[in-house]
Structure 1
Amino acid sequence: MTVAKSFCDGVGCSQPGLVLQQPTHTFDHSKPILKRFPLILYLASFGSMGYENCLLFESLVRQGYIVACVSSIGRYPGEMTMKNADLMEQVTDANQILNRLKHDSRIDTTNIGLLGYSWGGLAGALLAMQRQDIDAVVSLDGSEVYHYGYTKSEDLDFGQIVTTPFFKKAVLSAPYLRLESATNVKTSKKDSTYNFLSKVRASKRVIKIDSAEHQDFSSLPTVVRSSGNCSVPKTYRVIATYTIAHFNRYLKSGTSATK
C-alpha cells in the first residue's frame, strides 16, 4: 500500500487501493504452449524491480517472447549505489540467470534480446559487451549515455565505471536501439555527455521521443492513470511499439520493423 501511494503521489492521480486492484493480462498457473520462444532479459532501473514495466512485458509475451527480469539491488544487503561494484552485481546476476535459462527447453537460445531501463540500460550494455550470444539490445533512456554536470559524486562514480580496463576495451556487437527522453535545454545542468555510441560496432539507432520524460519509460504512470480513469498519453504505447519492432526485426526471421 505504501509503494502504491508513492506512485499515486508521483503521478498526481488515482488512489492506492485502485492501483492494487487494477487488472492485468497476466495469469497465474496458465498452461504453457509446448514450443520454444525467443528470450528477452530485462534489467530493472536503479534499485527497482521488474514490475516497473509489466505492461511492456505483457505486450512482448503476446508477441511470442519469454521475458525474465533482473532486479537492481546491488551488493548485500541490497543498498544499491552508483558504484561500479553494485552495478556489476546486477550484471553478474543477469549472467547467472541467462546461463541458467539457456538450459530451459522452452528458450530459443539462438534468439536472445536484452532490454534495460535507466541504470538497467547501462547494466544491459555491459552484459551485452561481455557476451557473444546477445542478438539485440534496447535501452529505455539508459544511463550508458551519461550526462555530466548534475552532481560531482555521480560524475566520479560513472567515471570510474567507464575507465575500468574491461569497459575501455569492450565493444557492443549486437544491434542497438536507444529510446530517449527529450532534455529540456533551459533547465539542464549538463556540461557534457559520454558518447556510448562510439562503442557500438553493430547497427545502432537513437530515437528521441519529444513527449517523454524519464519516468515515462516505466509502465507505472500508465497503470496509475488507468486505475484512476485519468487521461493516459500515448507516449508509453509509442515506446512499446519501437521496442517490439526492434526485437521482432532481429529475433524473428522474416519480420520487419515498424516504419
Structure 2
Amino acid sequence: MRTIILVALVFFQVCLANGQTSLKEINLKSGAYNVGFKHYTTIDSTRLYIIENDFNNQLVYRPIPVSIWYPAVIDNKNSKQLTVLDYLQILKEEEESKNLPNELLLDWFPELGDTPQNRAHLSEKVNALLNTNFLEGKFPVIVYAPSYQASSIENFALFEYLASNGYVVISSPSRGTDTRWLEGGTTKDMETQSRDVEFLLKEIHKYEYIDFDRIALMGFSFGGLSNAITVMKNKKISALVSLDGTERYNYPVLEKSPYFNVDRFNIPYVHFAQKDIPVEILTSDKIPAELNYKFQLYDSLNYSDTYSYKFHDLTHSYFGTVGVLFSYRDKRQDKSDDKIMASYKLLSQHTLQFLNATLKNEESAKEFIENSPDKNGILKNLVSKKIKKSLTKEFDYNDFKNLALNQGHRDLIPLYEKTVAKHSTLKLEEGMLNNLGIRLSFNAGKMEQGINVFLLALHIYPKSANLYDSLALAYLYNQDHKNAIANFKKSLKLNPENQHAIDKLKQLTE
C-alpha cells in the first residue's frame, strides 16, 4: 500500500511538458504589512544525525534549518529584497548541496529542471526582505511542515502572502530520522517530522512578537500527515490547514502511531484536495480508484469542525509555490498554466480566510468558511466543498478539572452545582477527586487547593470514610492537628474498622 500511495503522489512529476508561469501572473495581492525573512540553522541536541554529503559518517546533533516570515519594519539602508534564486540557495543548503554551482542548480534537483522558463524565474523578485526587524505587536503563528523530503521554502509565495496579512510563518525542511533521506513515508518518518514540528513549536518562544495562544499548523502532502499526529499530541494548537495532505491517502500510517487518538483531534481543520485522478491514469499507473473519494480521517472525526475542499484545476504538485513555478506538466491530466496559477491563488485566499476565522475570529472570514463556494462567488467547476460540524462532546471529569484549575481550585462547590445544572450527565468519581486532592495537598503551596477538592468530594460523597481519612491526613501534613483529629473521628464514625484512622488518632492524642 505504501508503494501505491507514493506512486500516486509522484506521478505528477512525469516530464511531458514544461509550463510557463510567474509570480506576477499568480497575482497574490499583498496585505497591509511588509514581509521580513530570516533563515538560520540551529540544532536539536536530543537527536543524532549524519550529513551524508560530508562523507565522514560522523554523528552530529540534528541540524534544524529554520525559515521564518513575519510582519516587518523596513530599514531602507540595509533591507534587501529577495529573489527566487535566494530561496533556491536555501534549497541547496537544506539538500546538503550548498557548494553546488548555481549554473547546475536547475539540473540537480528533480523538482526543478533547466529550461528557459525556469531560468527566467531565478531573477524574479519576491515580496520578502532580508535585514528587517519584527513589527511590534502580537501576531498569530503558523508552523509549516513541508511535503516529502522538501525544503522549508517550498511554499514561499503563500508564506509571504500570509505574513503580509499579519501572520508569522515558520518552517523547517522534511528530512529523515538519521540522514536527509526518509524511509518511504513510514510511521517512523511521520514521527520524525512531527518531532521537527514540535521543535519549531519551542523555537517560536524565542520571538517576543508572537501570540502563543494563537498557533496553527499547516502542511503539504506528507507534512499534512505529520501535522495530524502532532495535533493529537499537542493541546496548544488552535487550527490545522492541510494542503492535499496524505492523511487523506495514507490513513494506516497515522493509525500505527502510539499517539493516534481521533478524539484528541478536536480543533478546526481544513483539507484542500487535488482534482480527481483520471481513470486513464488510475489504470495505467495502478492507482486505487478510492484515492479519489475515500477520506477515512474526515469520516472518523467527531469533535472537530472539518472542512473538505476539492480544487478541480490542481493536481498534487501545484499545492506548493515551487511546484507551480517549476514542475513539469503532465499532459494526461494537468490544466493550463493560467488555470493552475488561478487555482493556486484561490487556494491561498481560502487558506487566509480559514486562518482569519479560526485565529483572528473575524466575522467575515467565519461567514466565508461556512458558505458554499458559489455563495462566495466561486464557480462550482473550480471548487467543491463538504463540511462536517463537531458533535457536542460529553462534559467529563477532565473538563471540570480544567475549570477548577482555571479558578485556582477555589469555590469548587458553587462551580460544581453550576456545571452539573448545565451538564446533567457529569459524574465526578470519588476516586478521581480523592487522588487529585492528595496530589494537591502534598504539593508545596497547594495545600489549601487540595483541601478544597476534598470538601467538594465530601459534598458529593458525604458518607465516604476514605475521603474524611484523606482530608484528615492533609490537615495533619499541614500541622493542623485540630482539624486532623476531627476528620479522623468522622472517618471512624463511618467506618469503625479504619485502622489507619485509629493509629493516627492514637498518635495525635497521646
1:154 matched to which residue of 2? none
* Deviation (angstroms), 1:13: 6.3
Q: Is the 8 A contact 1:139 1:177 kept in 2?
A: yes
Structure with higher Rg: it is 2
Identity %: 23
Aligned length: 243
**1:216-257 Cα deviation digits (max 9, x unpaired):** 1011244349xxxx9543011011011111000011133432
Tell me the TM-score normalised to structure 1 length.
0.85
**1:177-224 Cα deviation digits (max 9, x unpaired):** 010011224132215445011135211010100011001101124434
Map 1:1-259; keep pairs closer than 5 Å: 1=102, 2-5=104-107, 6-9=110-113, 14-16=117-119, 18-81=120-183, 82-146=185-249, 159-168=252-261, 171-186=264-279, 187-188=281-282, 189-192=287-290, 193=294, 195-197=296-298, 198-199=300-301, 201-224=303-326, 231-232=337-338, 233-257=341-365, 258=368, 259=376
Q: Is the 8 A contact 1:4 1:19 kept in 2?
A: no
Q: 1:86 to 1:241 in 2, by over 3 A?
A: same
Higher helix share: 2
Q: Which blocks of at least 5 consecutive residues in structure 1 are unaligned?
A: 148-157
Q: 1:83 to 1:7 in 2, by over 3 A?
A: closer
Instruction: Give me the whole-angstrom Cα distance separating, in 1, the residues matched to 2:167 and 2:295.
Output: 32
Q: Is the 8 A contact 1:13 1:224 kept in 2?
A: no
**1:85-132 Cα deviation digits (max 9, x unpaired):** 122111011112202313531110111111100000111111111111
> How big is the alpha-carbon RMSD for the aligned residues of Structure 1 and Structure 2?
2.3
Instruction: Give me the whole-angstrom Cα distance separating, in 2, the residues matched to 1:21 and 1:130.
Output: 42
Q: Is the 8 A contact 1:43 1:116 kept in 2?
A: yes
One-letter identity of the residue aligned with 1:116 = G
Tell me the TM-score normalised to structure 2 length.
0.45
Larger RCO, structure (CA 8 Å, separation 6 or more): 1
Q: Which blocks of at least 5 consecutive residues in structure 2 are unaligned?
A: 1-101, 328-335, 369-375, 377-510
Q: 1:26 to 1:169 in 2, by over 3 A?
A: closer
* Deviation (angstroms), 1:3: 4.3
Q: Is the 8 A contact 1:47 1:72 kept in 2?
A: yes
Q: Is the 8 A contact 1:45 1:119 kept in 2?
A: yes
